[in-house]
Amino acid sequence: MDSVDLQVLKTSLEWRSEGHDVILGTIVQTWGSSPRPPGAMLAIRDDGLVSGSISGGCIEDDMINKVRDRSLEVDKPSVVTYGISKEEANRFGLPCGGTLQVVLEKISDDQSFRELLDRVERHELVCRSLVITTGDVALSQALSTDELSFDGETLRCVYGPRWRLIIIGAGQLSTYVAQMAKALDYHVIVCDPRAEYADTWDVPGTVLSREMPDDLVVALKLDAHSAVVAVTHDPKLDDLALLEALKSPSFYVGALGSRLNSQNRRERLLLFDLSESEINLLHGPVGLRIGSKTPPEIAVSILAEITAVRHGVELDTVGLVDGKEVSADASTSVCAV
């Protein structure tokens, strides 16, 4: 789930522990353009304080006002729709024709929410079913292919890390990549058998493995919701991970290095049991061309490329380096570090 929406659930429970009533709103369907997708959540405290968002702010303002004047009472879950007409779209700041359908529920079963958060913190993927007419809630194990569904009677939401990012190397760059990836809804696993790096790894919410990279990649049974990026600059580690990752269904496999190093890497990989088509799946030099120089900037470029691939965006073959347009086969690389 989106880390922003996870924070909505955590904040809701904190408010409940302080004695507040909390109304939770979840987008279940959109028509036309909408600021946030189905599954996005908003929590409103009884005094109007909010966490999360479901629009650009106008719908939130309307709901806050109704909570404060007690006109928004949600004893049982209910379904509300915003933006049906052009006038309402203009009123609520939605793009022309945009419509949102939102399920509202009053949080009362604190134990169920705590269990949900506990399971998500254990990196489980959980389905929460909510029956609109009764308010009954059930939790069950979900699959990475499961999606939010709403048939008018039962809302089924999927919570937990849908995506995995395996980072080979626990150096400085990996710290920034891991921190940004967590904000982008990834379960982050960092692999580094070198004690001098692994012993100093300290990014909360990530998993550190000291296994050899190829052993870890095989053990994880990577799927189409997995990405691997190798950033150690040590072929003995990076290549081991790539040899296994490129044979997996992973949606993204990348490795840091200059264009020359990337070409040498491809030639090395051809010596092993990889086909040319498998090697062509490798992203290297890794990252989009954004003129990045520092570790945080390079991390941004890496996550930007992973995000583009994840969403099926065709990557440009021409970019800017030092303000000059260069082709994809140029020898200059923003990641030649």
Q: Which pLDDT band holds residue 92 (cuts at 50, 70, 90)?
A: low
Q: What is the mean pLDDT of residues 224-247?
A: 94
Q: Which residue has the higher pLDDT, 25 or 314?
A: 25
Contact (Cβ atoms closer than 8 angstroms) between residue 247 and residue 278: yes
pLDDT on residue 331: 31
pLDDT band at 60 (very low <50, low <70, confident <90, very high): confident
Q: What is the pLDDT of residues 19-36, one digit of tens each?
A: 999 999 999 998 776 667
Neighbours of 135 (CB within 10 A): 15
Residues 156, 137 contacting (CB under 8 angstroms) = no
Mean pLDDT of the chain: 86
**Interior angle at CA 173, CA 299 and CA 219, nearest 5:** 95
289's tokens: 């061309």
Q: How many CA atoms lie within 13 A of 130 on its CB side?
A: 26
**329: pLDDT confidence band, cut at 50, 70 and 90?**
very low
**Res. 332 pLDDT band, cuts 50 70 90:** very low
Q: Among 2.60.120.10, 3.40.50.720, 2.160.10.10, 3.20.80.10, what is the CATH number of 163-327?
A: 3.40.50.720
Predicted confidence at residue 144, as pLDDT, reads: 75
Is the predicted pLDDT of residue 328 greater than 50, yes or no?
Answer: no
Q: Which of 85-99, 185-199, 207-221, 304-318 has the lowest mean pLDDT?
A: 85-99
- Taking only the tens place, the pLDDT of each residue in 173-209 is 999 999 999 988 898 999 999 999 999 999 998 999 9
Is the pTM higher than 0.75? The answer reads no
Lowest-confidence pick of 109-123, 161-175, 182-196, 200-214:
109-123
pLDDT at 336 over 80: no
Task: Please state which of the ranges 95-99, 160-164, 183-187, 284-288 shows the lowest mean pLDDT.
Answer: 95-99
Q: What confidence category does residue 72 fall into, taking pLDDT thresholds of 50, 70 and 90?
A: confident
- Residue 65: both structure tokens together: 């006002």
Range(s) within the chain of domains with CATH label 3.40.50.720: 163-327
Q: Which residues contact 186 (CB under 8 A, 6 or more apart)?
A: 161, 163, 164, 165, 227
For the cut 70, the answer to whether the pLDDT of residue 318 exceeds it is: no
Can you read off the two tokens belonging to residue 13?
Answer: 């429970």
Q: How far, in Å, CA of 311 to CA of 254, rounded?
A: 16
